[in-house]
Structure formats: structure tokens, C-alpha cells
Structure 1
Amino acid sequence: MVRTIGEAAAELGIEAHVLRHWEQAGALTVPRDGNGYRTFDDAALERARTVLKLRRVGLSLPEVTAAMTPKKSAAQAVVREKIAALESEVRRTQQAITYLRHTADCRHRYLDDCQDCAAFAREL
């Protein structure tokens, strides 16, 4: 089944200009008909769906483009880098939560007076 850009966008739950932007950025390649209109067959729609998933998990368009490369090792390297970045972000977030929980329950009037708060602040 072949879809227009509007139909493909509606099926993906995004705006048509997003698909155009992805194509312009090199993250998506879409065939065109004899009149130059983009045609989204099942394969093109699946590629667009993959781009959408990668964007939703936090990859930038350049990262998506690299992750969609036919060379598997290059794609895996991009994904591994993103995993490492996300894991680092999770660690920072967990440290922030620990610090904030302590400060919310801290018995000291001023956080500067608390050795634990000072230790947490040095870690962040």
C-alpha cells in the first residue's frame, strides 16, 4: 500500500513537515513518484517509524542518521554511545534525588551547616 506524505504522517501521529525535515537532514530516504511526490510504501513507512522511535528515545537527527547506516558496526557504535550517555544521566539524576531527599529531611537550619549536605554537594 502506498501512502502520501500526509497519510504517512497521520499514521505515525506526526506532522508532514517533520517527515520532510527528517528527509532533508538525511535521516530518512523516501522514494518519489513520476510527479516528484513522496510515496510511502510499507518499507518507507517502517523506516520512518524507526526514525520516530530513535528520536523518542533521545537520539538527535545526526545520531539517527548514523544509527540507520547500512554498516552495522557504525550503527552499533552510535547506539552504545547513547546508552552510555543515558546511563550517566541516570546516575546524575539518582545523585540529585539522594541529595534532595536528604535536604528535605535535614535537621540543620542551613544546609551549609550540615556535613552530609556539603558532602553531597561536592559529589554533584
Structure 2
Amino acid sequence: MAAIVRLNVDMKSIGEVAAQFGLPTHVLRYWEAEGLLAPARAGDRRRYGDADVHRVAAILISKEAGFGLADIRTMLDARSRPARREVTARHREMLLARIARAQAALDMIEGECPHDDIMTCPRFQGLLADRLRPSDAPA
């Protein structure tokens, strides 16, 4: 009986996946080395199925949200909500602090200070006082 060889035409090459997301191929190789991706192999060629392509999209979304690769790997490999919760809770706190810093920066540049010397502006002095306050002091 002759052996039947099936070719999965739905599989994509590393170049096709990289092009789909506008990434250089070395990024996908790096993510594989970091344990984020595990595409199938056809000889020495990587072959990406739909699940792999979805995982690349999930990695990109997570990176855009500010997650590092280790946390992304933990989240994507977690098989339960509680397993992901520690990572997302820690990241949430970091984002809230970043948002507060960004809001303070926006407040500083949007203020219409009528003073020639910004260091004499009461509003700016308030921003300075907030910055100079020890982090454990009450607000």
C-alpha cells in the first residue's frame, strides 16, 4: 500500500506570518526562543497554523498593553483565571501609576500660567510640592 502524504495548505511560513503582522521574521524566531510560540516543523521550516497566528496576535495585543514577554508567556500559558490574575493585577497597578504620571504631565502642559517665570506660578508650585512630598506622606 502506498503511503499518503498530506500537505496542510492552511499552514503559513514564517515569512507569511511576519508579513501579515508587519514584523521582521527574527521577532517570531525570538518569541519562539522565549517560549511564546511553538510552530510546527516541516523539516527545518516553521509552519504556522491558525492557533499560532492567533497567538502572535495575542502577543502583539499584550505588548501594546505594556506587558513584558515573561508576563505574556505566563498569561498565555495559564489555564485558569486565577493563574492569570496575579499577572494582570500587578500590571493594572503599574498602569494606574503610569496613568497618574501622564495625567500630571498633561496638567502641567495644559495649564495657562500667566506668570513670566513658571517657578513663581502657584499652580506649578503645587505640582512641585506634590512631587517633593515623600511617597509615604498623606496626599
Give the TM-score taking structure 2 as reference length: 0.77
Which ranges of 4 or more aligned residues in structure 1 deviate by more than 3 Å? Answer: none
Query: Where do 5+ consecutive residues of structure 1 fail to align?
Result: none
Is residue 38 from structure 1 mapped to residue 50 from structure 2 by the alignment? Answer: no
1:5-34 alpha-carbon deviations (Å, 9 max, x no partner) = 11111122212111001111122222222x
Query: How big is each residue's C-alpha offset from its partner over 1:48-76, in whole Å with a ceiling of 9 and x where there is no partner?
Result: 22112111222111121111123322323
Q: How many residues align?
A: 121
Judge conservation of contact 1:28–1:51 (CA < 8 Å) in 2: no
Greater helix fraction, Structure 1 or Structure 2: 1
Equivalent of residue 71 in structure 1, options 79, 82, 85: 79
**Which protein has the bigger strand share?**
2
Percent identical: 26
Q: Deviations over 1:46-105 (max 9, x none)?
A: 112211211122211112111112332232321222222112211111112112222xx2
* Structure of higher CA gyration radius: 2
* RMSD between superposed Cα atoms in Å: 1.7
TM-score, length basis structure 1? 0.85
* Structure 2 residue runs without a partner (length 5+): 1-9, 132-139
> Offset of 1:112 from its aligned partner?
2.5
Match of 1:53 in 2: 61
Higher RCO (Cα < 8 Å, 6 or more apart): 1
